[in-house]
Amino acid sequence: MTESKSKGYFFEELSVGMSDSYSHQVSDQDIKDFARISGDHNAVHLDEEFAKNTMFKGRIAHGMLSASYISTVLGTKLPGPGSIYVSQNIRFKRPVRIGDVVEAKVSVLSLNPDKKFVDLKTECYVNGQIVMEGEATIMVPSQVQKQAASR
C-alpha cells in the first residue's frame, strides 16, 4: 500500500505496513554534485580510467547518494515533514551507475508510542534488484503534542 500526504503524518496516523517511495535517475552531474557537497572525491566515482581498473569495471555512484533518496522519502512522504532521523543501518548490495533509476522504498515495521519512534525497513532498487537495504528509526511529531502546544 502506497500512501502519501504533503503535510506528512503524525505518529497517531501511522500503522505497520504503510509504505511509500521515491525514484530518481542518477546522472553524471548528480555524482559530481554529491562529491562536491560531501567532499568524497574517490576516483571510483569520478574518474572513468581509474574506475575501469577496479572490481566495478567503471564509475559507480556514491553509496550514500542512493541512501539520500531514503532520506527524501522519510522527510517528504513517510512519515514526512517534521520527522527526525534517530538512526539508520545500511548494507550496500550492488553498485549504482550513471543512468540507473534508483527507487527508494520505506515501510513501517513497528511503532514505539512512548517515544514516538517509528522503525522502518529501508531499501533501494535498480531494475527490480536490491542495491541497498537497512532499517531506520525516526522520531515523528505527535498530534497529541501539537494539540497541547496550541492551547
Cβ atoms of 117 and 140 within 8 Å: the answer is yes
Tens digit of pLDDT for each residue in 115-150? 999 999 999 999 999 999 999 999 999 987 655 555
- On the question of pLDDT at 107 being above 70, the answer is yes
pTM of the model: 0.88
Q: What type of residue sits at position 138? A: I
CA distances from 5 to 14, 20, 127, 143 (A): 12, 10, 26, 15
Q: Residue 7's pLDDT band (boundaries 50, 70, 90)?
A: confident
Task: Tell me which CATH code domain 11-25+64-149 carries.
Answer: 3.10.129.10
> What is the model's pLDDT at position 147?
52
Q: What is the Cα–Cα distance from 129 to 36, expressed in whole angstroms? A: 28
| Residue given cell 567532499 in the structure block | 39
As beta bridge partners, residue 21 has: 105
**Cell numbers linked to 6:** 504533503
Pairing of strands 101-112, 19-25: antiparallel
| Residue given cell 536490491 in the structure block | 130
**Cell numbers linked to 33:** 554534485
> What is the model's pLDDT at position 4?
45
Cβ atoms of 68 and 136 within 8 Å: the answer is no
Average pLDDT of span 85-103: 98
Tens digit of pLDDT for each residue in 26-77? 999 999 999 999 999 999 999 999 999 999 999 999 999 999 999 999 999 9
Domain boundaries, the chain: 11-25+64-149
